[in-house]
Amino acid sequence: MPTSSPDPFNLRRFVREQERDYAQALSELRAGRKKTHWIWYILPQMTGLGSSEMSEYFGVTGPAEARAYLAHPVLGRRLVECVEAISAHVGVQAAVILGSLDAIKYQSCLTLFAAVAVGDSIYARALRQHFAGTPDQRTLELIGQAPPT
């Protein structure tokens, strides 16, 4: 829940975790194979999609927090770098790079950030590349956007 502090969404929770694992995560994505456990705070998704403590703690609470994440000088840049690293593997399914369960989380992540980004964002393009443009319907429901018909 937002507060009047300089970090109303506690985005520092992501920065703190990424300090330890970001370089490794980006290296794995560039190599085309995720091997370690960092999905929750590197490629976040909406709260309410997962049931683990990690997915709840690192879940994004809604569109306002997602916009703040994208605008954050460290987190926004890192998210773009990670999506670019995955997208560089043209013709390779996200499940091959991330594993099947984390590919679903990635689709949710892309859906969330495509919904709040302006224009034809890298997130929308990655959704087209890896998921035939199909957004995660549950994410759209959680952010209050009607699913496409």
pLDDT in tens, 68-124: 999 999 999 999 999 999 999 999 999 999 999 999 999 999 999 999 998 899 999
Residue 6, domain member (yes or no): no
Whether residue 65 lies inside any domain: the answer is: yes
**Cα(93)–Cα(133) distance, rounded to whole angstroms?**
13
Q: Which two tokens stand for residue 85?
A: 């690293």
Nearest to 38 by CA among 54, 56, 52, 61: 54
Average pLDDT estimate for 117-137: 96
Residue 1 has pLDDT above 80, yes or no: no
- Of 131, 108, 135, which is closest to residue 50 (Cα–Cα)? 108
Answer yes or no: is 100 within a domain. Answer: yes
Residue type, 69: Y
The boundaries of the domain holding residue 50 are 12-142
In a domain? residue 78 = yes
Is the pLDDT score of 147 beyond 60? Answer: no
In a domain, 58, yes or no: yes
Tell me, rounded to whole angstroms, the distance of Cα 129 from its chain centroid.
15
Residue 83 belongs to a domain with what CATH number? 1.25.40.380
Please compute Rg for the chain using Cα positions. Answer: 14
pTM, rounded to two decimals? 0.93
In a domain, 57, yes or no: yes
Per-residue pLDDT reduced to its tens digit, 27-70: 999 999 999 999 999 999 999 998 899 999 999 999 999 999 99
Question: Alpha-carbon torsion 23, 62, 109, 81, what sign?
Answer: negative
Which residues sit opposite 60 in a β-bridge?
Answer: 46
Cα 106–chain centre separation: 6
Domain count, the chain: 1
Q: Is residue 2 part of a domain?
A: no
Q: What pLDDT band is residue 148 in, cutting at 50, 70 and 90?
A: low
**Nearest-angstrom CA–CA distance, 38 and 21:** 7
Name the band, by pLDDT with cuts 50, 70 and 90, for residue 146: low
- Which residue(s) pair with 55 in the sheet? none
Mean pLDDT value of segment 126-134 = 98
106 assigned to some structural domain: yes
